[in-house]
Amino acid sequence: MSPGPTTGVAPVQRPLIGLTPNLLPPEPRASYPGKFLAVVDQAMAERVVAAGGSPVLLPLVMGDDHVLALADRLDGLLLTGGADLDPATWRSEDRRFPGQPERDHFELTLLARVRARRRPVLGVCRGHQLLNVAFGGSLIVDIPSDHPGAGLHRDAARYDTIRHPVTLPEHSFLRTLLDVPSGRIDVNSVHHQAIARLGDGLLAAAWSDDGLIEAVEAPADAWTRGVQWHPEWNPNDPARDRLFRSFIAAAREHL
């Protein structure tokens, strides 16, 4: 049987983007009792596809050799949101919110390899915080308790409907990318932790009105950015689309 007709046009190459998973512990009344689930928000995968990338969920495997083998296959890394970081990752003895140390180790190992290969990295929410820790920074463990006077950054009842403005410093990547003359945009907010000490080599790219760092960039690295909000949740938002397109464009350079 002969093959069908071809157009003679080569398929568009899509960079392979690794998405780190959120690890969900077993819940007795859930659909998968006794099972740990590694999941990612479908909206995140859809945004990667819409921007021209091919998303792949990275299983949270143990053993650095497996992690490094995964990292070597990627054209870009997307550090997703989820559970708190373990304060031990930045040498804090605060144990109020222990987080998921196994996920921290997995992502920090991935990130180190991807940075060494000079591939682009986008950190979202928790991923933004992990970037800061990887660069030697620290976190505010609990905004309501440890940052008096802070505005509302998380409310379980309102979840992803909370929004607040942020200021984009002049010459920051976001202000340039989004072409915002006012330097102000509104973002969603679902976090109770935030950057305390900014990591070495990072620049603040957005500030909330109560003085918290809401985005970072690493000028000396390959394309490396972090945002505290969830851009994948903002429908019909040009800021969301431009951010993901910029990330995928940087990854495409390595095809």
Q: Catalytic one among 107, 217, 232, 254?
A: 232
- The CA-CA-CA angle for residues 136, 133, 65, to 5°, reads 100
Calculate the alpha carbon distances from 56 to 3, 107, 127, 145 in Å: 30, 15, 16, 37
Of 165, 164, 168, the C-alpha closest to 216 is 168
Assign 66 to helix, strand or coil: helix
Q: Is this prediction's pTM over 0.85?
A: yes
Within a domain: 79: yes
Q: Is 147 a catalytic residue?
A: no
CA–chain centroid gap for 178, Å, is 18
Give me the count of residues in the chain. Answer: 255
Catalytic residue status for 230: yes
Number of domains present in the structure of the chain: 1
pLDDT digits (tens, 9 = 90+) for 165-219: 899 999 999 999 998 889 999 888 887 889 999 999 999 999 999 899 999 999 9
- What domain range includes position 89? 16-252
Any domain includes 134: yes
> 62 vs 69, 84, 157, 183, CA distance in Å?
12, 19, 35, 43
Q: Which of 128, 153, 191, 230 is catalytic?
A: 230
Does 6 reside within a domain? no
Of 125, 147, 191, 214, the catalytic one is: 125
User: Residue 194 falls within a domain, yes or no?
Assistant: yes
Rounded Cα distance, 55 and 125, in Å = 18
Q: Give residue 48's pLDDT.
A: 97
Separation CA 77–CA 165 (nearest Å): 27
Residue 3: inside a domain: no
CA distance 98 to 207: 26
Inside any domain, residue 34: yes
Per-residue model confidence as pLDDT tens digits over 103-112: 999 999 999 9
Instruction: Tell whether 167 is covered by a domain.
Output: yes
**What CATH number has the domain bearing residue 169?**
3.40.50.880
